[in-house]
Structure 1
Amino acid sequence: MEQLNTARRAAAAVLSDAGVPSPGVDADLLLCFVTGDSRAELKLRELRGENLDEAQYAQYLDLVDRRARRIPLQHLTGEGHFRYLTLQVGPGVFSPRPETESVVQVGLDFIGSLQGSRCVDLCSGSGAIAAALATELSASTVWAVELSAEAIGYTRANCEPLGVRVLHQDAAQLPVALHRTMDLVISNPPYIPPNAIPREVEVREHDPQMALYGLGSDGLRIPREVSAEALRLLRPGGMYVMEHAEVQAASAAAMLAELGFEAVTGHQDLTGRARATSGLAPLSSDRMKE
């Protein structure tokens, strides 16, 4: 038997020594996973001086040890949190990040109160963006497009129960029948340049490279292909929103303008970093550059 409070504090110290970025939060979340409690419930149990039983304590020690070896928290719990959703995640799929929530918000603000909107999430991965759109837009029809054979199972598991239409194919080559039908296209494509190795161990060693590296000297080869397809998918006046690295803000804006998007605009995340760029499909079809 071990007191909850003692176990959690020891775990936070272990994770801190291992360089885990948020040791206290991770210690809490792993303990919640073991006990099945919410963080609020866990705090109440700690105040009452309650204990972990032997099996729970052994499981907790194992999880903390694996987290200290920088295995992502989401891989240990099988869950990722995004906006109002709890998603299934694990090895082989990019874990959703809080900064992407602000990218979704740009699209939601654009759609506003439009009923029956048609939206697509390109390079969907876990399906976080598509799932958020499906749950936060009224009477919407949403597609999620993912190429990876490893990730598509997560896409389907997170999206299909919400009525999202999942396509297992290249996001740059979608059926012509979908062209000029979408009100909103959002993408978090791979965009890391080949020489920009991620500093975070969890990202560098555990996120799939297919979801990270955008190819080309600037990391924007795949984003350019995806953005060109987004322009073909949008109805006149529809919006495209693309996530990118902070250092790519200017080049992403130039890329969208070159492709033919209008009203190209940069957007910051909640930390003030340049996180996404949006553009509108031109109202005149002869101005669209194929």
Structure 2
Amino acid sequence: MNPVTLRAFRDHAVGVLTRAGVPTPEADAELLLGHVLGLGRGALQARLVTDAQLASDDLLAATEAVERRAAREPLQHITGRAGFRSLDLAVGPGVFVPRPETESVAQIAIDALAAVPSAEPVGVDLGTGSGAIALALATEVPHARVHAVENSPQAFIWAKQNFRETGADNARLVFADLADALPELDGVVDVVVSNPPYIPADAVPRDPEVRLFDPAAALYGGDDGLDVVRQVSRTASRLLRAGGTLVIEHGELQAAEIAALLTSDGWRAPATHRDLLGRDRATSATRA
């Protein structure tokens, strides 16, 4: 096998991923190559300006990784990791890969939890998936107690690994359905946050990474997409104290419908929050 330089392979990989329709071929090519070599993207870029060559084993591993990404397998499934705020999370088949837009949803919940005038405020993440939001709350509001609920056995395994790796002793993971979870906390929770499935059943996502690899239970929320949102509203109303805060992530066209739903359920002051791209992606409300 003829020697191949890092730069030559990187350029080849960019071409392969571009032809496959991957949205960010340059970044993905470098992240995959860095993953194989155990290098961060910055360190890899520094090596690219040299004539450094790929060892044969690394070349085979990098080629396989690029082929998987060209088949539109999520980058995070190939590397086994996903960044979320300051966290580095384990992810893979069976769990929803946390998205950058959810980081701003977590920020709303973090701000609300940090503002509670209590020595030990209580937060709950309903449908925690990988544990991303719950662990962000626990690590960024370290004096809080955070409870995370998940009912998917596959997702629960990933969340359990992330709770163990993060080592936040103020975070607790519970396997339960969100409809009847945590009865011992009824009326004492300060903040409830959720990124529930909210896609209508007939609105199949365009991106293959989502359509083919994210678990359906984390995507689809019934005919109008709001079946689980309705349950989140009921459970949060049971858990929260008067004046407590609910934060729900949703699709950018669902804000008005969710605000109306929450108002009908007796919530006060529903407010829509935009993500960094200016899209309506979260709604908060106050428990009466």
Q: TM-score range by the shorter chain?
A: over 0.9
Task: Work out whether 1:124 is the aligned partner of 2:131.
Answer: no
Aligned mate of 2:72, from 70, 74, 79: 70
Q: Is the 8 A contact 1:130 1:159 kept in 2?
A: no
Give TM-score scaled by structure 2 length. 0.95
Q: How far apart, CA to CA, are the structure 2 residues paired with 1:4 and 1:118?
A: 49
User: Is the 2:198–2:250 contact (alpha carbons within 8 Å) kept by the matching residues of 1?
Assistant: yes
Residue 244 (structure 2) aligns with? 238
Counterpart CA distance in 1 for 2:272 and 2:231 is 19
Against the structure 1 CA distance between its residues 201 and 18, is the aligned structure 2 distance closer, same or farther, given a 3 Å change threshold?
same
Q: The residue matched to 1:130 in structure 2 has which SS?
A: helix
Q: 2:198 aligned with 1:191, yes or no?
A: yes
- Of the three residues 94, 102, 105, the one matched with 1:103 is 105
**Is it true that 1:158 corresponds to 2:162 in the alignment?**
yes
Distance 2:159 2:259 in 1: 29
* Residues 171-210 of structure 1, C-alpha deviations (whole Å, 9 max, x = no match): 1211321111111111000110011000100100110001
Query: Is the 2:249–2:281 Cα contact (8 Å) retained in structure 1?
Result: yes
Match of 1:209 in 2: 216
| Distance across 1 between alignment mates of 2:240 and 2:205 | 33
**1:134 is the counterpart of 2:138:** yes
Large movers: runs of 4+ above 6 Å: none
Query: Matched residues, percent identical?
Result: 47
Deviation of 1:112 (Å): 3.2
Give me the whole-angstrom Cα distance separating, in 1, the residues matched to 2:8 and 2:81: 25
Structure 2: 5+ residue stretches without partners:
none
TM-score, normalisation: structure 1: 0.94
Matching residue within 1, 12, 18 for 2:14 = 12
Deviation at 1:137, TM superposition (A): 0.5
Count of equivalent residues: 281
Letter of the 1:102 partner, please give it: S
What do the CA deviations read for 1:193-243 (whole angstroms, capped 9, x no partner)? 01100010010011000111011x211011101121011111111111000
Please tell me whether the aligned partners of residues 188 and 242 of structure 1 are also in contact (alpha carbons under 8 angstroms): yes
2:187 is aligned, of 172, 180, 190, to 180
Whole-angstrom CA distance in 2 between matches of 1:112 and 1:263: 20
Any idea what SS the aligned residue of 1:91 has? coil
The one-letter code of the counterpart of 2:158 is Y
Give 3-state SS (helix, strand or coil) of 2:231's partner: helix
1:266 equivalent among 263, 267, 272: 272
Q: Partners in 2 of 1:224 and 1:41 — Cα distance?
A: 47
Match of 1:146 in 2: 150
* Paired amino acid for 1:171: L
Give the root-mean-square deviation of aligned CA atoms: 1.1
Q: Does the 8 Å CA contact 2:267/2:287 hold for their aligned counterparts?
A: yes
Partner of 2:39: 37
CA contact (8 A) 1:144 1:155 kept: no
Alignment of 1:273-288 (within 5 A): 273-282=279-288
Give, in angstroms, the shift of residue 113 of structure 1.
4.8
Q: Is the 8 A contact 2:113 2:123 kept in 1?
A: no
Distance in 2, matches of 1:4 and 1:132, equals: 36
